[in-house]
Amino acid sequence: MPSIILAALVALLHVYFLVLEMFLWATPFGEKTFKRSHEEQMQTKVLAQNQGLYNGFLAAGLVWSLVAPEPIAWAVRVFFLSCVVVAGLYGGATAARSILVFQALPGALALVATVLPRFW
């Protein structure tokens, strides 16, 4: 049950990232969130929209893992949570350290909650 709850929360986070990057990027909220000027946000808007789409795919995969039957659900959840962690680590190393906290950490906690019961 913790695996399902945490995976659902990670999916919700990625839906939020999708909305923020695809639709709110060049708004005052997006500018404040990313601490960038309107000009910077406008110059990177298309890139952010693409990034938001990828976050949507991660969310969709996690939702799939919540509704799929076993044994498929577990494997799908492990795969997509692993993708979230890798993306979060890369983003934290290359873009902003805060990505480690807001993406990699929740993904890692959900991944541990998913994998640990299988092997413990």
- Tens digits of per-residue pLDDT, 93-103? 999 999 999 99
User: Structure pTM?
Assistant: 0.95
- Tens digits of per-residue pLDDT, 50-66? 999 999 999 999 999 99
Domains: count for the chain: 1
Please compute, for residue 115, the number of CA atoms within 13 A of its CA located in the half-sphere on the CB side.
Answer: 12
Stretch 22-39: mean pLDDT: 96
Integer Cα distance of 88 and 96 in angstroms: 10
The pLDDT of residue 120: 86
Structural domain that includes position 96: 2-119
**Crossing angle of helices 45-67 and 72-94, rounded to 10°:** 150
Classified as helix, coil or strand, 62 is helix
Kindly tell me if the per-residue pLDDT of 21 is higher than 90. yes
On whether the CB atoms of residues 84 and 107 are closer than 8 A, the answer is yes
φ and ψ at residue 26, rounded to 5 degrees: -95, 30
